[in-house]
Structure 1
């Protein structure tokens, strides 16, 4: 292994090593490259089937209601993520064109305004704007990227006069329903019209809706009289003030920081998280799910701390409490390096676990709170403490995972059949993310066969999705026009048909679990750039496998399966360059270090002559750099933004 330096365009020196050992490519490396090739082809077929040449989607002529602008973005966002991992260069242009096409199309439908959703909640904003976060990783940053990031963040930090979503004095997002038109304190019957049939099978949002038996667990939204009462009660009790779900907005504001490095975005994220910490303290340790415009907990719910929009009672309970909280806490660590920023999420996991009870020998925790008390007891979900542990690497977070009884085999790899949930294991499979637990087992050395198993499963998932997409039900020209049908012709069809899913590639190459599907940034230990292509992702024919993570190191294997061409890549410390590499150790077959070199940089160049490979252990200091979307190549326009006219 030879250490030298190459000169970066910004006149910085990036340390460089050259691998010398000829290796026979292991099966995982061959499968990984096969999967990337299959995903590249599947992506092109998917785009050809569902989009027009201008990037718009082949779909219906109208779409009423506020729901749905997130779904087309969700269906196509993985084009950018696949490119970021090393997918075809063609995908980058397609991803950008389709984002523009969807944004224009939903503007014409009347739901997007000024390129941002006019109004909806932060579960759905969170899902849809993953697309923007993936485009940020895809780089290089364009003027449009930077401008949009600043403008969209401005809607939530109090800078936008048309979208006054934020009360800067009380540090309060003013409604659960917000967007480019500002907070929506009054919802209409049309806003929920596309969801009525779906919500018939959900729990009622309140316990006192006339004509509804709350204990039945269902509520007839399709009944006009009941529907009118629901909308009326929502406007009285739910549409004003702050909710924990709004913590997902920290992703959008962090996204703006990653482009600009402007401290106002970091300060906003920290201040907004801190005010929820204070509200939780005031509420005796349980985070309240509704805070009025005055800052009072339960202001529009007769003083009840439960009963807010996407809160403890309706519709999902703890999931939509802990997910935005976990996202916000991880964003705060990214921006500060302070592991104490995880404490609010940790404390809510602890409070929830302590409220549990033993049922038939199994410890169950409450997911909901009704007027009669805690309810909807289920097994605790390990994925949330797994996310915290991958950030902290702390024993206390490991203990939060290990206290959860294994009610199924955590080493088992699943192939999700629908985007939603797996009945056998209870695992959430939104966006076909279903294998966080077996990855966790693997990265701790308890599931050695996982890399090949998850790659094989991912290949089968692509095949499954292609079959579904190519079926008659997958033809967009055959889709019917009703709103609430249960087949593939609903607004969720693009997600259900999409073959571009790559959980295995994120986990194995980046060294982290897939993002939280409702608005999480893609946190991970490393990422890669192709030096010859001057772009993000693994170079052609290079396979990567993160084999071990510790608080101070990452161990990974790199293989160039091409016997004829040399490849050169750059490894980055952290998805956003937030870490710093210290030393690189070349490991022998027994895992012992046989050579060591100094790095002291967030980037490391690795040259892989034809047919070479190596296992490297790279020591690192974590969360010591300011995170950014910066590529290893200089951006002369990094801080350029356009300014509009100033009106009197």
Structure 2
């Protein structure tokens, strides 16, 4: 499908006034505030306290983390940035005004810190795998979305490391990234700097080593028993392209959204297109390695599996699936062709077909902590588990499906087949998708299933439950901070910062934006709607305003806005899409025509609140909503999905539409 879709960071549209946008005014009174609205605003207040306490405990005045050691391997850059990965997202949702400059200060402070530790060159990772680089960049992507003008030049420079073949990372003729560990230092090669991969004993027990076909059949490889492993890993796994590198497409898509430069679109379509072709040729499952000659398996004895962070080691579907969906979504957005999603669809369907119904406690899972937190008591009941990994001995490492990946597909496409895949997974699982557990996984996600049930109309209590779970997550993290205040973190424990980061955004993203949490290993935001505070001229919900998206169908995206403030008017711009990419065709909204509903002062009770539905024509990606004190409004938006340019420009930017 040929596309005329462009990016437009500054499209040159003349700014218009707020009241020149399609405008509706709320007139339905708030007499008994809905519990979800009160809980949502309470969560914003708690998060404002939480990020400040984390910063006071673990960071220096320049924004860097309190760390006095050195880093002895290539690992660690992601752990420094991940401590703040979702802080810009909280600002975009409606967090405090000073949260954005705080997040920017932490990025700069951590970048200086990591440069001094020898981990960065020109502000960018010298060379490491994209499982970790994708995690590191989430903070940058959020800053670009929140303040595109300030971050454009830096983000574009990072993308050029891959788009410009002269930088040594990309072979344009073969459409491959030249090595698994890549970045700003073209001289960094292989996978490690010592004699073997620095695998901890516990990780070796969980994941084993790749190349399990090299030792004598029937024996488990280990670095002590087989001295060949280090050299063989460096030679076979340390060069050529790997599936995890598809996450680079997120970095390049970010540059495309910032600039509209067609070079970035062409690169995404060329690189991801190469992986799509290889997937087709491999029977519908994405291979995880391509040799320096451009041939799948040429460095692994013809095997399509076994590459670095691929199907055999260490995480399989968990890592490959996220990288593939980042790449596929980038190509779908840049090329306006959802056919690119097929490389993920066919891979998922292939793996699901290999699934088994069994008890999780009896499975050979290499991620038991995650699985048990997710399943709870259902770990003892038969449920559908799918294999995450593949080697010469076949499929193994059975786990529950990581539903963030099929959820991201369905959210983007809205296709019947993508929805049916989720419905089939739900029907085949032995656990109730409506259950909300107060856990927080590494991605600060994991509640896609009860949210999906809510959107399908059979989990009405979800907003209250997920907001309660978010409160529990924040309060647990605050307790952990109190238990480990100002600790001198050793290198082995640098995950402490991300494990105590008390900012949670999953619940607010789902409920207010109507979108899933970002794909953690390098994805960009997904949202059905976003908001801008018209009076403060910044992104996010205004103070005292709560929002709830209860349906995300393009023909009827339903959301409610509530102004809990009894004295102040709030003005909100509703934006269609994370990047203003949708157009609002029509707006249906609730209205209270009876201005005498309070009754007289002789009455003991107000009159019944009567509401009617009104309609308004839309134009473009923005709708202005005025919320007088103590009012609410339900909006039903008919959207023309992805009918406009993708842009970070908001309604108050020179390239946007509205001014005060």
Taking structure 1 as the reference length, what is the TM-score of the superposition? Answer: 0.88
Counterparts of 1:606 and 1:198, CA distance in 2: 55
1:463: which partner in 2?
Answer: 475
State the shift of 1:393 in Å.
Answer: 1.4
State the shift of 1:129 in Å.
Answer: 0.1
SS of the counterpart of 1:366? strand
Of stretches 72-81 and 611-620 in structure 1, the one that deviates more from structure 2 is 72-81
Q: 1:278 to 1:431 in 2, by over 3 A?
A: closer
Q: 1:568 to 1:370 in 2, by over 3 A?
A: same
Task: Identify which of 131, 139, 163 aligns with 2:139.
Answer: 131
Query: What residue ranges of structure 2 are gaps of 5+ in the alignment?
Result: 1-12, 360-381, 593-608
State the shift of 1:187 in Å.
Answer: 3.6
Assess if the C-alpha contact under 8 Å between 2:181 and 2:190 holds in 1. Answer: no
Task: Identify which of 198, 211, 217 aligns with 1:206.
Answer: 211
Assess if the C-alpha contact under 8 Å between 1:352 and 1:366 holds in 2. Answer: yes
How does 1:184-199 map onto structure 2 within 5 Å? 184-190=188-194, 195-199=199-203
Counterparts of 2:339 and 2:430, CA distance in 1: 31
Counterparts of 1:591 and 1:229, CA distance in 2: 78
Assess if the C-alpha contact under 8 Å between 2:243 and 2:323 holds in 1. Answer: yes
Counterparts of 1:500 and 1:192, CA distance in 2: 37
2:22: which partner in 1?
Answer: 15
Task: Identify which of 500, 518, 521 aligns with 2:524.
Answer: 521
Cα deviation, 1:396-415, whole Å, max 9, x if unaligned, reads 11111122212211111111
State the shift of 1:546 in Å.
Answer: 0.3
2:162: which partner in 1?
Answer: 156
Assess if the C-alpha contact under 8 Å between 1:241 and 1:292 holds in 2. Answer: yes
1:437: which partner in 2?
Answer: 449
Counterparts of 1:191 and 1:462, CA distance in 2: 42
Task: Identify which of 407, 432, 436 aligns with 1:413.
Answer: 436
Task: Identify which of 547, 555, 558 aligns with 1:555.
Answer: 558
SS of the counterpart of 1:155? helix
Cα deviation, 1:442-500, whole Å, max 9, x if unaligned, reads 111110000011111111111111001111xx233343x3x44xxxxx11111111111
Counterparts of 2:193 and 2:236, CA distance in 1: 16
Counterparts of 2:618 and 2:242, CA distance in 1: 45
Task: Indicate yes or no: 2:513 matched with 1:510.
Answer: yes
Q: 1:459 to 1:396 in 2, by over 3 A?
A: same
Task: Indicate yes or no: 2:535 matched with 1:532.
Answer: yes
Task: Indicate yes or no: 2:283 matched with 1:284.
Answer: yes
Counterparts of 2:488 and 2:398, CA distance in 1: 41
Task: Indicate yes or no: 2:175 matched with 1:175.
Answer: no
State the shift of 1:235 in Å.
Answer: 1.1
Counterparts of 2:56 and 2:244, CA distance in 1: 36
Counterparts of 1:415 and 1:141, CA distance in 2: 37
Q: 1:212 to 1:534 in 2, by over 3 A?
A: farther
Q: 1:271 to 1:591 in 2, by over 3 A?
A: farther
Of stretches 376-385 and 86-95 in structure 1, the one that deviates more from structure 2 is 376-385
SS of the counterpart of 1:76? coil
Query: What residue ranges of structure 1 are gaps of 5+ in the alignment?
Result: 1-7, 418-428, 485-489, 638-648
SS of the counterpart of 1:403? helix
Assess if the C-alpha contact under 8 Å between 1:509 and 1:546 holds in 2. Answer: yes
Cα deviation, 1:20-64, whole Å, max 9, x if unaligned, reads 221132111111001001101111111111111111110123112
1:121: which partner in 2?
Answer: 129
SS of the counterpart of 1:295? coil
Counterparts of 2:640 and 2:610, CA distance in 1: 21
Task: Identify which of 389, 392, 403 aligns with 2:413.
Answer: 392
2:622: which partner in 1?
Answer: 603
1:68: which partner in 2?
Answer: 76
Of stretches 8-17 and 70-79 in structure 1, the one that deviates more from structure 2 is 8-17
Of stretches 328-337 and 590-599 in structure 1, the one that deviates more from structure 2 is 590-599
Taking structure 2 as the reference length, what is the TM-score of the superposition? Answer: 0.86
State the shift of 1:158 in Å.
Answer: 2.1
Q: 1:449 to 1:514 in 2, by over 3 A?
A: same
State the shift of 1:357 in Å.
Answer: 4.6
Assess if the C-alpha contact under 8 Å between 1:560 and 1:613 holds in 2. Answer: yes
1:424: which partner in 2?
Answer: none
2:248: which partner in 1?
Answer: 249
Assess if the C-alpha contact under 8 Å between 2:273 and 2:340 holds in 1. Answer: no
Cα deviation, 1:279-336, whole Å, max 9, x if unaligned, reads 1222233221110111011111111111111111110112222111112222222223
Task: Identify which of 481, 486, 490 aligns with 1:476.
Answer: 486
2:58: which partner in 1?
Answer: 50
Counterparts of 1:213 and 1:478, CA distance in 2: 44
Q: 1:192 to 1:442 in 2, by over 3 A?
A: farther
2:603: which partner in 1?
Answer: none
Counterparts of 2:638 and 2:655, CA distance in 1: 31
Task: Indicate yes or no: 2:613 matched with 1:594.
Answer: yes
Task: Indicate yes or no: 2:238 matched with 1:239.
Answer: yes
Cα deviation, 1:358-406, whole Å, max 9, x if unaligned, reads 5587554332211122223344343322221111112111111122212
Higher relative contact order (CA 8 A, sep 6+): 2
Assess if the C-alpha contact under 8 Å between 2:561 and 2:634 holds in 1. Answer: yes
State the shift of 1:210 in Å.
Answer: 5.7
Assess if the C-alpha contact under 8 Å between 1:184 and 1:239 holds in 2. Answer: no
State the shift of 1:183 in Å.
Answer: 6.9
Counterparts of 1:54 and 1:362, CA distance in 2: 49
Q: 1:447 to 1:543 in 2, by over 3 A?
A: same
SS of the counterpart of 2:29? coil
Assess if the C-alpha contact under 8 Å between 1:587 and 1:617 holds in 2. Answer: no
Counterparts of 2:620 and 2:655, CA distance in 1: 21
Task: Indicate yes or no: 2:655 matched with 1:632.
Answer: no
Counterparts of 1:196 and 1:561, CA distance in 2: 52
Assess if the C-alpha contact under 8 Å between 1:586 and 1:617 holds in 2. Answer: yes
Of stretches 608-617 and 399-408 in structure 1, the one that deviates more from structure 2 is 399-408
Cα deviation, 1:40-91, whole Å, max 9, x if unaligned, reads 1111111111111111110123112110101111111222111111000111
Cα deviation, 1:141-194, whole Å, max 9, x if unaligned, reads 21xx111111111111125x4x31000111111111101113743344449776
Counterparts of 2:292 and 2:572, CA distance in 1: 51
Counterparts of 2:610 and 2:521, CA distance in 1: 38
Counterparts of 2:553 and 2:24, CA distance in 1: 22
Q: 1:191 to 1:133 in 2, by over 3 A?
A: farther
Counterparts of 2:321 and 2:395, CA distance in 1: 16
Compute the RMSD of aligned alpha carbons.
2.4
1:643: which partner in 2?
Answer: none
Assess if the C-alpha contact under 8 Å between 1:336 and 1:623 holds in 2. Answer: no
Of stretches 106-115 and 591-600 in structure 1, the one that deviates more from structure 2 is 591-600
Of stretches 580-589 and 130-139 in structure 1, the one that deviates more from structure 2 is 580-589
1:402: which partner in 2?
Answer: 423
State the shift of 1:436 in Å.
Answer: 0.9
Q: 1:378 to 1:455 in 2, by over 3 A?
A: closer
Counterparts of 2:210 and 2:591, CA distance in 1: 60
Of stretches 515-524 and 537-546 in structure 1, the one that deviates more from structure 2 is 515-524
2:371: which partner in 1?
Answer: none
